[in-house]
Amino acid sequence: MDPEGAQQELNQPLMVNWRLQQPQWPNIYRSGVITFRVIAIILLALAAGRMGTANQDVYFPNQEIHTFTCYDYPAFMYFMSANILACVFSLVLQFISLYQKDKTMWVQTLISSIDVVMVALLFSANGAALALYLLSSNGLSIESLSWTAMCDTLFIFCSQVLNAITVSLCGSVAYTIAIVFNHVNYGTLA
């Protein structure tokens, strides 16, 4: 093969007529996308389920029993909604990317855009839930607001919430790694 032919082969565009050429890299990136997306789906579903079942009964003297649940706090509801939404979208996008016959550029761009929005939503929800958890465990020292630390009394509830946040953060990182592998697979981050 002559050097000019090799140079022309290297200068070939990645996209021809809005169709992606097969990636030059091995299929390890595609299997990495699938693996990390499945891990993210499982972890996000577990986090949403854990947060949804977090509760604790508290007995106050001369009062009724009060049950603390995640449904009492909007930040925890946002956390659950974001995890469920990201889990469902990731599952749908996984099936679309596996079973699409026509790998056009606009489909990959749509999948990547939805993935990035879901990761931003997940990290936002994790931040909101973690902020409320830290406020509940440490309290707020401003006297006019008088938010006392609740995790001394609600130890079981707070540990369940912290477990859900930790699992969701691991799922968010797995989702981010899947996005990076997807971009490397299709040559947009090479």
Q: Helix/strand/coil (H, E, C) string of 113-138? A: HHHHHHHHHHHHHHHHHHHHHHHHHH
What are the pLDDT digits (tens) for 130-168? 998 888 887 776 665 666 777 777 888 889 999 999 999
The whole-number average pLDDT for the span 4-31 is 55
pLDDT of residue 9: 52
CA 60 remoteness from chain centre: 38
> Is the Cβ–Cβ distance between 14 and 187 less than 8 Å?
yes
Q: In the chain, what are the domain boundaries?
A: 24-61+70-185
What are the pLDDT digits (tens) for 57-74? 777 677 776 677 777 888
Nearest residue to 151 (alpha-carbon basis) of 140, 143, 141, 159: 159
| Dihedral sign from CA coordinates of 136, 42, 103, 6 | positive
pLDDT of residue 109: 80
> Is the Cβ–Cβ distance between 172 and 123 less than 8 Å?
yes
Give the global pTM: 0.76
- Spatial neighbors of 83 by CB under 8 A, at least 6 apart, are 44, 45, 47, 48, 51, 122, 125, 168, 171
Gap between the Cα atoms of 148 and 162, Å rounded: 18
